[in-house]
Amino acid sequence: MATNGKLSAKDYKTDQEVRWCPGCGDYAILAALQSFMPELEVPKEKIVFVSGIGCAARFPYYMETYGMHSIHGRAPAIATGLATSRPDLSVWVVTGDGDSLSIGGNHLIHALRRNVNIKILMFNNEIYGLTKGQYSPTSPLGTRTKSTPMGSLDWPFNPLSLAIGAEASFVARAIDTDRAHLTQTLRAAAAHRGSSFVEIFQNCNIYNDGAFDFVREDKENRIYLEHGKPIRFGAEGKKGVRQRTDGSVELVDVTDESELLVHNAHHVEPSAAFALSRLTQSTANATPIGIFRDVERPVYDDLMAQQIATAHAEQAGDIGALLQAGDTWTI
Amino acid sequence: MASKPVEQLDSVVIRFAGDSGDGMQLTGGRFTSETALIGNDLATYPDFPAEIRAPAGSLPGVSGFQLHFADHDILTPGDQPNVLVAMNPAALKTNLNDLPPSGILVVDKDAFTDRNLTKAGYGGNPIEDGTLESYEVHAIPLTSMTIEALKDIEGITKREAERAKNMFALGLMSWLYGRPTEGTIAFLESKFARRPEIAAANVKAFQTGYAFGETTEAFAVQYEVKPATMKPGLYRNITGNQALAYGLIAASVKSGLPLFLGAYPITPASSVLEELARHKNFGVRTFQAEDEIAAVGAALGASFGGSLGVSTSSGPGIVLKQETIGLGITLELPLVIVDVQRAGPSTGMPTKPEQADLLGVMFGRNSESPVPVIAAATPSDCFDAALEAARIAVKYRTPVFLLSDAYLANGSEPWLLPDVDAIPPIEPGFAEANGEDFQPYRRDEQTLARPWAIPGTPGLEHRIGGLEKQDVTGNVSYDPDNHDLMVRLRAQKVAGIAQDIPELEVDDPDGAEMLVLSWGGTYGSVAAAVRRVRGAGKKVAHAHLRYLNPFPRNTGEILRAYDKVLVPEINLGQLQKLVRAEFLVDATGFNLVRGIPFRAGEVADAIGAMVDS
Ligand SMILES: Cc1ncc(C[n+]2csc(CCOP(=O)(O)OP(=O)(O)O)c2C)c(N)n1
Ligand code: SF4
Ligand SMILES: [Mg+2]
């Protein structure tokens, strides 16, 4: 029986017991996705969730769609094959910060540059949850974990800077507990044709509790980005973001709104989006939330489909003719 | 002009050797086409360096092409050339050892300059110092004669004229063996259609070389090799990688499954990717991935979506794919992984053949992870082997390894074109909702294959993954007995394929006491060796395995029927280990791991010695 858009969140719940720790941020994200799915207006059977390994990656087991819980780091590659061969599907990748930025870093950047039509949701908890609490490539320098008792030594990735640098055509950030905004971001990510990269701040209350309290708890530090509007935030929008002459951005107390950077998510050049991605807890104790970048670019799967259509139109494949092409002789 | 006496030969092995820039592969390829048209049976073996252009005149830069042609059916490109064409001192130095005494040696005298001699490590000039005494030497000024012949052709530089010297050599050899010239002339005209003056120069050089053979006193006789009696039908010449690519396309056509190839360039597998990329009109999707892990991952993703997912590579890349193949095993999805083996370990010798990945593909993954393994026997057999790998993958919902090697990949032979209509269809048998509850791991009773329910099928939404699954439901399960059951089911499914593949055939006309058991790309050399041993009046049986996992169901019975079993392999005894472990037979190995195919002669010696022992 084909399904239609008139479904509700519960139609996307599976009969499997959800096994995240009580209080984990993953629950909120799952709930947001399950209630957003009906809105997609894509029949359930045409939706596929592909994940790697990690706590976040258990996600597909809980979504009543097609799904594959694959191997560590490889979901973007697997999803690339699926999306490229099946342009009719809505393909989602759920991944963690370790999954996507350590072991799977290569696949992530290449999927983004190709602009494969997949929606990548990266649950960033700045920790390896499933393996019980080692630091991750997004943990700040000096993070003390079981594997780094004296503090981590490696400089972290800024996931959005990385995605923008990797030529991503859609880059956004959301927070697990901010359901309304998360849903809005998912909506935009789904509507974008090509790769969408959404970083979701996700609290791991067991191994890295409070990592994002500066924005999860303190809403005034959320710099909500709205396309076409001057970037203001804080109590009554008293603070804003101004672009320096060197292209970087800084936070200011607003006196003259015309001084502020007007957010343009559709700018072909990624420079301003990149500058915004540099506003982090450590650099600004505030960080932008929302869509940094949303531009149109040729989509890998579409281009491949076009080449196939062109080749087919020129001459449909005929296996007998193929074998006989070139020099043949009869005995 | 009075024509020279013609001497009949039943077979000839000719080797063209020169600098990588001398066009030896092209020369060999053209001689092959001319030979095919005459109707000789033939086998070729190009042997080229991994470096694209090693320094000109250097030993590592030597590129060779060997061709064996005959008036009867032959199995190998030949152990030793009867004729060696060496375009420079380096080519002479690296190839001379293979030329038997009184073999014909044609050298380009002009290339034996002090500089080139030094580069090749010669103290003196071998043409003059007696080094070549035991051969029939024809030291011909190929370069200067070519330049002289082309002096009236306008619009070409001296360098371009000089570069046509390979066509002079081809012309001369074409005369010597009475090859037809029309095909080569037409080929050159079309290849250089955009530069007619270059086309003209090459044609002229080719014709001049031919005419030189007719008139020079250096060659007293011309040779003739009559057509071979071959099965009637339409033939073409084909390399292993081309046949493999065609086999995959045929499997796609016969199954109705779109072909998805994930690959990352690697010698000697790249030409499969390149060949398939030219056939998008069959709906073929080729994905050049960021690495081998992504390549096989994408192929598996495509399989999940209902494509025929294939990933091609060679040893170093295969190792990277193993984790994903393990996932494919537990997901129980069709997937074909092609390993065009090359000499290792590590980067090894990228352009050279070896058979040393067998145990790696059998066992090189974590845990109990059985995979069917098929190995192609000859260049043209790569077509059938690819079709068969796809059939098994689809029918049993499993990754399948297809083994080839650098020799099969680049080597060529005449191929009697199959009747494509007679190739049986491959039924994907996708699952569809039928009102019953859908269970992703409910198996077919006969094949033990699970349903293949692809996204887009309403009502069959389900999740699969790398965690152990409960029998039937596919839900995550850590139950000890369930795991034991699943491990056994996966093993039984693969083992059961033995019922679905042909029995092992033994070639034993005389009732021998000794069996030679070969596999993969050594088929030709071993079969040729067996013929020689029989020719010497000894009895020996030969069986060749195309299926390495599972083995054909009668393998044990056959092995146990002989007192002595010899397993020749280009590794240190991998099949030997498998058959010993599986069948408790005292198999002996014959192993040479030099990065070159076996010579039939050395295998024959080993067989002969064992027959006598
Ligand atoms: C090849 C491989 N290496 C290591 C692991 C172990 N492993 C599982 S999950 C994980 C890290 C997960 O971290 P992250 O992606 O941040 O996900 P989270 O659990 O935090 O959601 C590691 C190292 C594995 N499963 N496979
Ligand atoms: S370990 Fe952390 S991320 Fe994993 S389920 Fe528990 S709370 Fe969530
Ligand atoms: Mg994490």
**Would an 8 Å CB–CB cutoff place A64 in contact with chain B?**
yes
For B252, name the nearest residue in chain A, comparing CA atoms only. Answer: A319
ipTM of the complex as predicted = 0.97
Nearest CB to A68: which of B457, B461, B465?
Answer: B465
DSSP assignment of B483-518? HHHHHHHHHHHHHHGGGGSPPPPEE-TT--SEEEEE
**Would an 8 Å CB–CB cutoff place A331 in contact with chain B?**
yes
The overall average pLDDT reported for chain A is 96
Residue B594 has pLDDT above 90, yes or no: yes
Q: Which of A128-132, B49-53, B395-399 comes out lowest in average pLDDT?
A: B49-53
pLDDT digits (tens, 9 = 90+) for A184-200: 999 999 999 999 999 99
Express as a percent the part of chain B with pLDDT over 70.
100
Q: pLDDT tier at A331 (50, 70, 90 boundaries)?
A: confident
Phi, psi of B175 (to 5 degrees): -65, -45
- Yes or no, beta carbons of B418 and A16 under 8 Å apart: no
| Spatial distance between the Cα atoms of B506 and B508, rounded to a whole number of angstroms | 6
How close does chain A come to B103, measured CA to CA in Å?
Answer: 31
Across B490-516, b (16+ Cβ under 10 Å) vs e yields: beebbbebbeebeebebbbeeebebbb
Average pLDDT on B122-140 reads: 95
- Closest residue by Cα to atom 1, ligand 2, is A129
| Spatial distance between the Cα atoms of A273 and B257, rounded to a whole number of angstroms | 42
Residue B468 has pLDDT above 90, yes or no: yes
Within B280-323, strands assigned E span 285-288, 308-313
- Yes or no, beta carbons of A88 and B456 under 8 Å apart: yes
Q: pLDDT tier at B2 (50, 70, 90 boundaries)?
A: low
The overall average pLDDT reported for chain B is 96
pLDDT digits (tens, 9 = 90+) for B256-303: 999 999 999 999 999 999 999 999 999 999 999 999 999 999 999 999
For ligand 1, is residue A53 a contact (CB within 6 Å)? yes
Q: Helix (H, G, I), strand (E, B), or coil: what is residue B526?
A: helix
Q: How many CB atoms lie within 10 A of CB B290?
A: 20
For ligand 1, is residue A125 a contact (CB within 6 Å)? yes
Among residues B350, B360, B411, the alpha carbon closest in space to that of B598 is found at B411
For ligand 1, is residue A202 a contact (CB within 6 Å)? no
Q: Evaluate whether B293 touches A110 at the Cβ level (below 8 Å).
A: no
Q: pLDDT tier at B3 (50, 70, 90 boundaries)?
A: confident
| Spatial distance between the Cα atoms of B348 and A300, rounded to a whole number of angstroms | 35
Q: pLDDT tier at A179 (50, 70, 90 boundaries)?
A: very high
Average pLDDT on A163-184 reads: 98
Q: What is the pLDDT of residue B55?
A: 87
Nearest CB to B420: which of A14, A67, A320?
Answer: A320
Among residues B457, B462, B425, B459, the alpha carbon closest in space to that of B440 is found at B462
B547-549 and B373-375 strand pairing: antiparallel
**Residues B452, B456, B458, B461, Cα dihedral to 10°:** 60
Q: What is the pLDDT of residue A7?
A: 92
Q: Evaluate whether B543 touches B507 at the Cβ level (below 8 Å).
A: yes
Counting ligands in written order, the one closest to the CA of A204 is 2
**Would an 8 Å CB–CB cutoff place A303 in contact with chain B?**
no
Q: Helix (H, G, I), strand (E, B), or coil: what is residue B354?
A: coil
How close does chain B come to A40, measured CA to CA in Å?
Answer: 15
- Say which residue the tokens 């169901």 belong to: B553
Average pLDDT on A154-172 reads: 98
pLDDT digits (tens, 9 = 90+) for B56-108: 899 999 999 999 999 999 999 999 999 999 999 999 999 999 999 999 999 99
Q: Evaluate whether B36 touches B42 at the Cβ level (below 8 Å).
A: yes
| Spatial distance between the Cα atoms of A7 and B135, rounded to a whole number of angstroms | 86
pLDDT digits (tens, 9 = 90+) for A41-83: 999 999 999 999 999 999 999 999 999 999 999 999 999 999 9
Contacts of B263 (CB under 8 A, 6+ apart): B269, B270, B272, B273, B286, B287, B288, B289, B295, B311, B312, B313
| Spatial distance between the Cα atoms of A67 and A83, rounded to a whole number of angstroms | 13
Residue B9 has pLDDT above 80, yes or no: yes
Q: What is the pLDDT of residue A2?
A: 42
Report residues whose beta carbon is within 6 angstroms of any ligand 2 atom. A 20-21, 24, 26, 55, 125, 129, 204-207
Q: Helix (H, G, I), strand (E, B), or coil: what is residue B589?
A: strand
Express as a percent the part of chain B with pLDDT over 90.
96
| Ramachandran region, residue A179 (left: φ > 0; alpha: ψ -120 to 50; beta: rest) | alpha
Residues of A in contact with B285 (CB under 8 A): 84-85, 304, 308
Neighbours of ion ligand 3 (CB under 5 A): A 96-97, 125
**For residue B66, what are the β-bridge partners?**
B15, B45
B62-70 and A328-330 strand pairing: unpaired
Average pLDDT on B317-345 reads: 98
Longest dimension (CA), chain B: 89
Per the document, the length of chain A is 331
- Say which residue the tokens 């970083």 belong to: A199
Residue A5 has pLDDT above 90, yes or no: no
Q: How many CB atoms lie within 10 A of CB B577?
A: 17
Q: What is the pLDDT of residue A1?
A: 38
Residue B251 has pLDDT above 80, yes or no: yes
Q: Evaluate whether B393 touches B223 at the Cβ level (below 8 Å).
A: no
Residue B1 has pLDDT above 70, yes or no: no
Nearest CB to A304: which of B39, B281, B285?
Answer: B285
- Say which residue the tokens 């692809």 belong to: B454
Hey, what are A42's tokens? 């894509």
How close does chain A come to B233, measured CA to CA in Å?
Answer: 5
Atom of ligand 2 nearest to the CA of A55: 4
Q: What is the pLDDT of residue A97?
A: 98
pLDDT digits (tens, 9 = 90+) for B181-199: 999 999 999 999 999 999 9
Residue B144 has pLDDT above 60, yes or no: yes
List all residues of chain A from 7 to 36 with a beta carbon under 8 Å from chain B.
14, 16
**Would an 8 Å CB–CB cutoff place A79 in contact with chain B?**
yes
Q: Evaluate whether A213 touches A189 at the Cβ level (below 8 Å).
A: no
Q: How many CB atoms lie within 10 A of CB B54?
A: 18
Ligand 2 center–CA B325 separation, angstroms: 29
| Spatial distance between the Cα atoms of B299 and B312, rounded to a whole number of angstroms | 10
HEC states along A138-197?
CCCCCCCECCECCCCCCCCCCHHHHHHHCCCCEEEEEECCCHHHHHHHHHHHHHCCCCEE
Residue B460 has pLDDT above 70, yes or no: yes
Cis peptide before B345 (omega within 30 of 0): yes
Q: What is the pLDDT of residue A3?
A: 47
- Yes or no, beta carbons of B300 and A81 under 8 Å apart: yes
